[in-house]
Structure 1
């Protein structure tokens, strides 16, 4: 109940619809309990006295009660269908919005399939619980209590015999609930893992086919699929055992009540009509009792789905600090004692960045070079606050990044990542993600800067759908569109993570020529691996061992930094006289 009660804020706007559905189902179920009383009147009245004329009104009443039951059950569905679909839509929208606000470190930890299952199958489970099990947990409980009172009023001796299984059934249900809850959680988590595997297999289908590893992936899928199947079979066994007891014990009690009732009728201590009414009431309670197992099972499924949903919703957003004032004299980008380690890094490992001090002057282009794994990409991810610094500070024009609202920060800082990611949208939509309000002229300029003339040859030009992940385009084409996305808004600060790595030499030269104009009007940090990219920069910073070890122009560093010469030449450079060995 603690888990399910967390759904109340979403269910509250439709509470009257839920109440109406519960009332309709309650009246429909209550009409069923009137049938035994009508049957008693028929048996002890017209049938006992051979008054066939008096039989027809009572038979008509039975028909009317049946129509009322059917009609109200239909009304119940109509009442809740649309509002609960809206509840599900609202919850899914809130989850998606939350995923957009959560930091990148959260997405690093969570498999995409787990998030996908929470946004689809778990959401359906919660909606169905509100539409059906919740209503009938309430209605069937009330019907059971009312029917039990009716049986005791009709004959308390038969009532006690029939209600004897109630105590063992309550104890059994408590035992079942605790075990089923664990199995339900395991099943839903395994479903999320399976969704992750399927997604990875589809996105990586080219790699799997190229290396002939589709059989290996199929074996992994079969293994996880078997584990999920075993979990589902375990749930089925639990439910089967409970169902057997729920169905079996009341049937035995009903048989005993029938035997006792026959004896009482034979000794004229009970009328035949009363016995018929009692047995009819007991039979009317079969559905409320037998549904107990299914309702409990689904309540556990819904509680688990609710827990999984709120596991994401309870994750803290990145806190915003009160807005600070810039220091006018300190223009450009400044890293001051910046330290960083990933949130999930083991406690005994050193920081990835160990006190970065670097100043990129306003209007300057700084190239960042370093060996693979030195932390270049991580450093660039700190500027748009995809990750938060562990220590120290980064300022833009004298203003701490943490004092700038994220929305505003990401308007100021544009990024082109080393791995260009495109979405299932048109070329125009993908590029304008960098500046939704950009004009057609700015779009054309950005595409020209990125040397993306290939767009004109696409079937629908800039309105061409690029497909999932942009895989219908080549790597170089994707990279050029990602570069166009970064420069389309004419940002004040630009971060480029090896933006030309997938381009051929001719295209690279053309992009570099166009980029020089863009870089001349912005403050930029460019991760570079090749001399041609380095030459776009005014100065170069060398990142080594988590620190900036050298800063200067390309020519200066070739003379003074063995590490830089090695990075640029690809060969170990001889040490300068008096230089310490690394």
Structure 2
């Protein structure tokens, strides 16, 4: 089951969450600091304009000096051009480094996903992971590009502006300071409520992404069973839920915007009335009033932008928290052990191996319970069992796709729990019942099974899997692109390419999970004939559902209810085990 969205943690402050971005920002801190300084200078230039206006009104305008008026206009023009140029410079300074920050975080997320255990991927919906690598990182980049800088720029601008206001007339300045306390309280309340809604929206984006991805990948099922209406209904329900959440966000932003806009406007209106009275009484010059009001109006944008800057900051904090939910998950680790002894030839041993899924409910029996099994060097052992007996789970333990709960597995006498995974997976090659191909060429898909292998190994592997015939008939042979998940090929063709991938590197240990299930009888016979030669060179564990596959093996192990019920040759088990005879008769369910 996909993992449920993780609820936001109220004890984590926005600042503390965003500080986790520092390791990614540190390499570009010089450019960001320079951009912030440039933006502060540009913003403060707007505060110089009221000073020029005061000089213009009290000087050239009062003295009826046209030359002075034109000079003042020139000063204002130059200040405007300088401000625009500095803001343009700021954007240029941050564009490239922040793109590299986003790319670096995305690369680290992808790398972490590759290293996380299979159990993690079993729990998490792919759409949730995709949204963290796309939408969430875009929100982080936008925060670093705009709110991070302008929260600082606006704070400096507002502070400098109020100092200027108080220096021009302290009584009017105090009037404009009155909204500060209520705005602070309201902004704090807004941040808390908006954080909850923003988290819900981003989780819903992940759910919606999952539905779209599943519908696209399963389009044949959707169309084959005529389920497009039910899929569309599910999509519209999630889409409607997301729309409602986005509207809730919009309402919160509308409220905070209205409050942040209204309170300063009321204060400016009160200051205008009081200032006009003072000018009429001769206690204030007209130029000072103009400069005061111009300064107050210049501060409108820094004050009014607080609402959406806080909203973007909270969304970025939520995105950061979601990103680190994945990054904080423990990777697959290689247990530190003693120095391995000298290599000996002993095949594969399962000693008291027990396995229970980590998220299994309390009290449920283990999937595998005390497995003891020895596959001799160079031997092929067929694993047979009914549905739910644990065959596929057992095969997944050999390359450590899952970790055994108890017991140990030895390869040639070496405990796999003490091996580095890279070494282990260079020794063990796997072909799964459900073949997975990537959006790459046929050759690239097969050669994924052996680093450094070339065309001779590729041709040999295709021959073993009896895939060379259909591959040569493809438009570009082994260079043909197979498309997403190889859906341009038939099920049998995909399975043969997956088998070729497993044998291309001549592995020391081979694990095959019913690798011939999608083949017709004639192709299966040819593949089995070629596979016999490969199996003579390796130690193999083969999950078998049909007698023809069992005949590839030297011995057979019967797995029943998570335990090894019998081990022997095919003929011996037919005589001694009623369950095995029933499974091989075709009356039993040979699926997993």
Q: Say whether the fold is shared (TM-score over 0.5).
A: yes
Structure 1 segment 537-552 matched on structure 2, within 5 A: 537-552=553-568
Structure 1 segment 224-235 matched on structure 2, within 5 A: 224-235=238-249
TM-score normalised by structure 2 residue count: 0.96
Match of 1:533 among 542, 549, 554: 549
Q: Write the deviation string for residues 433-492 of structure 1: whole angstroms up to 9, x where unpaired.
A: 101311211110100000002000000000000000100000000000000000000000
Question: Partner of 1:481 in structure 2?
Answer: 497
Match of 1:301 among 308, 315, 318: 315
Task: Give the CA deviation at 1:328.
Answer: 4.9
Q: In 1, distance between residues paired with 2:332 and 2:518? A: 34
Q: In 2, distance between residues paired with 1:514 and 1:434? A: 18
Q: In 1, distance between residues paired with 2:441 and 2:266? A: 67
1:568 has 2:572 as partner: no
1:44 has 2:73 as partner: no
Question: Partner of 2:430 in structure 1?
Answer: 415
Match of 1:71 among 82, 85, 89: 85
Task: Give the CA deviation at 1:329.
Answer: 5.3
Q: In 1, distance between residues paired with 2:319 and 2:353? A: 41
Q: Write the deviation string for residues 27-59 of structure 1: whole angstroms up to 9, x where unpaired.
A: 100100000000000000011111222222222
Question: Partner of 1:471 in structure 2?
Answer: 487
Q: In 2, distance between residues paired with 1:472 and 1:328? A: 44
Match of 1:491 among 494, 500, 507: 507
Task: Give the CA deviation at 1:136.
Answer: 0.2
Match of 2:254 among 224, 229, 240: 240
1:85 has 2:110 as partner: no
Match of 2:28 among 5, 11, 14: 14
Match of 1:144 among 158, 167, 181: 158
Q: In 1, distance between residues paired with 2:67 and 2:460? A: 93
Question: Partner of 2:74 in structure 1?
Answer: 60
Between the two proteins, the alignment pairs up a number of residues equal to: 572
SS at match of 1:409: helix
Q: In 2, distance between residues paired with 1:328 and 1:43? A: 94
Question: Partner of 2:473 in structure 1?
Answer: 457
Q: In 1, distance between residues paired with 2:536 and 2:67? A: 103
Match of 2:174 among 130, 145, 160: 160
Question: Partner of 1:177 in structure 2?
Answer: 191
Question: Partner of 1:374 in structure 2?
Answer: 389
Structure 1 segment 67-466 matched on structure 2, within 5 A: 67-323=81-337, 324-326=339-341, 328=343, 331-452=346-467, 453-466=469-482
Contact 2:352 2:408 in 1 (8 A): yes
SS at match of 2:498: helix
Q: In 2, distance between residues paired with 1:13 and 1:287? A: 31
Name structure 2 gaps, 5 residues minimum.
1-14
SS at match of 2:293: helix
Contact 1:418 1:499 in 2 (8 A): yes
Q: In 2, distance between residues paired with 1:163 and 1:321? A: 62
Contact 1:187 1:232 in 2 (8 A): yes
Contact 1:500 1:508 in 2 (8 A): yes
Task: Give the CA deviation at 1:327.
Answer: 6.3
Task: Give the CA deviation at 1:212.
Answer: 0.6
Q: In 2, distance between residues paired with 1:400 and 1:11? A: 42
Q: Write the deviation string for residues 376-399 of structure 1: whole angstroms up to 9, x where unpaired.
A: 000000001000000000010000
Q: In 1, distance between residues paired with 2:440 and 2:359? A: 33
Q: In 2, distance between residues paired with 1:179 and 1:274? A: 42
TM-score normalised by structure 1 residue count: 0.97
SS at match of 2:16: coil
SS at match of 2:448: helix
Q: Write the deviation string for residues 126-158 of structure 1: whole angstroms up to 9, x where unpaired.
A: 011111110000000000011011111111111
Q: In 2, distance between residues paired with 1:205 and 1:54? A: 75
Question: Partner of 1:27 in structure 2?
Answer: 41
Contact 1:414 1:493 in 2 (8 A): yes
Match of 2:539 among 520, 523, 528: 523
Q: In 2, distance between residues paired with 1:168 and 1:103? A: 50
Name structure 1 gaps, 5 residues minimum.
573-582
Contact 1:327 1:397 in 2 (8 A): no
Contact 2:388 2:561 in 1 (8 A): no
Q: In 2, distance between residues paired with 1:330 and 1:354? A: 26
1:507 has 2:523 as partner: yes
Q: Write the deviation string for residues 198-236 of structure 1: whole angstroms up to 9, x where unpaired.
A: 000000010011111110000000000000000000000
